[in-house]
Amino acid sequence: MSHRVFAALVFVQMIVCAAALLCLLYVYDPLQLYHKPYFRDIAFTDDTRVQNKGIITHYDFSHYILGSCMLQNNLASEVEQNLGGKWVNISMAGSSFDTRAVILRYLLEHKQPKHIVYSLDDFSLISPSPSKTDSFDYLYDENPYNDIKIYMNNKFLLCALSFSSAKICTGVKDLNMLLPWALVDESGVTDLFGGFDNWIAHENDRVQSMMESLRSFDFAPFVKIDNTSSTDAKETRIYLQVYLLSFIKDHPDTHFSLIIPPYSLLHWRIHGGDKLAKWQESITYLVQATEHLPNVSIYGFDDLPYSAQIANYMDPEHYNIDMNRIFIQALRNSTHIINQANLSAYLQTMESKIAHYDVTPFVTMLKQ
């Protein structure tokens, strides 16, 4: 056999093997990018940055929850019981507005959602900058052929070769229980709920920075320092316009419920008045920009006693599932809505609560 014939045979074998592998990946399709599962049960992975493509494309939901981990504990089943409609939670942990915009754009182009619940996280309101999304955003373009590259790694190749239904490969069967980390805890975070003594007993990277700040706390009075430069404010407003407000304005038939997550008073007291000033500026801008848009409501909960009780939090920001249920009741009863008429009083109440929040007990406990 000549070298030329041998090389041709090897090339043909490579083409055949590659084609067979691509066919296997298409049939296996663990993220349901191309179709619902063949020859296995329906299941979903909690990496919703990549899983949302399949959920949006192949399942008929009319109402969506799209936030960060601050909304992941909203059970779609409980929202349905209280509000009606067919709900799904497609929130993404740590997702900024620009990251969510990738999903939001695809959702609004391919479905006609009646209602979207969305969290207004502080990291997207205070001097935000666009995140890198190239690890997944190609799944949401109009080219279905490039989607297959998400499977070109050892994990999915090994899963496909064994056509595995293991959780690590295809996820969990109950979509309703995909995201609620406060109910399905596999990392010990729920041990931190219940009080500051639990933070001390289980100190980890979630609370370590706060602990260090408390150990060196100088007890200086809390003063809101408005150091938001005109450039910072302008850039933040452009960010909010591009990655959130444009979608609201362009889709008047979809109602947007914007939830302000109530971080603990300890969070705000430690981070200082400059951060609060920037946050308030963004909230004020959003209220003003949406005042005359009938398809948006903004909900705020920082005036409740809840944020003063550190037992409700597993770190300075992340509240327990009972707060997510308060969100649902507010949506059902149209309460806790922030608008131009009550915004000033809301912000003043919040600022006063932060200024008078006593951190002495925490500093004392750390010294014992």
Q: Which domain holds residue 313?
A: 185-367
Per-residue pLDDT band at 163 (split at 50, 70, 90): very high
Q: Is 10's pLDDT higher than 60?
A: no
Q: Using alpha carbons, list the distances in angstroms from residue 265 to 310, 315, 318.
A: 8, 11, 12
Q: Is 224's pLDDT higher than 70?
A: yes
| HEC readout, 98-109 | HHHHHHHHHHHH
In a domain, 165, yes or no: no
Distance CA 276, CA 261 (A): 14
Between residues 190 and 76, the one the model is more confident about: 76
pLDDT of residue 272: 81
Q: Is the pTM of this model over 0.85?
A: yes
Task: Please state the rounded mean pLDDT for residues 44-55.
Answer: 97
Task: Please state the rounded mean pLDDT for residues 320-337.
Answer: 98
In a domain, 273, yes or no: yes
pLDDT of residue 271: 87
Distance CA 351, CA 277 (A): 10
In a domain, 73, yes or no: no
Q: Is 187's pLDDT higher than 90?
A: no
Share of the chain above pLDDT 90, in %: 79
Per-residue pLDDT band at 9 (split at 50, 70, 90): low
In a domain, 237, yes or no: yes
In a domain, 347, yes or no: yes
pLDDT single digits (tens) 267-279? 999 988 889 999 9
β-pairing verdict for 296-300 and 337-338: antiparallel
Domain count, the chain: 1
Distance CA 344, CA 355 (A): 16
Distance CA 153, CA 267 (A): 39
pLDDT of residue 56: 98
pLDDT single digits (tens) 231-273? 788 999 999 999 999 999 999 999 999 999 999 999 999 988 8
| HEC readout, 144-203 | HHHHHHHHCCHHHHHHHHCCCCCHHHHCECCHHHCCCCCCCCCCCHHHHCCCHHHHHHCC
In a domain, 342, yes or no: yes
In a domain, 214, yes or no: yes
Task: Please state the rounded mean pLDDT for residues 59-67.
Answer: 97
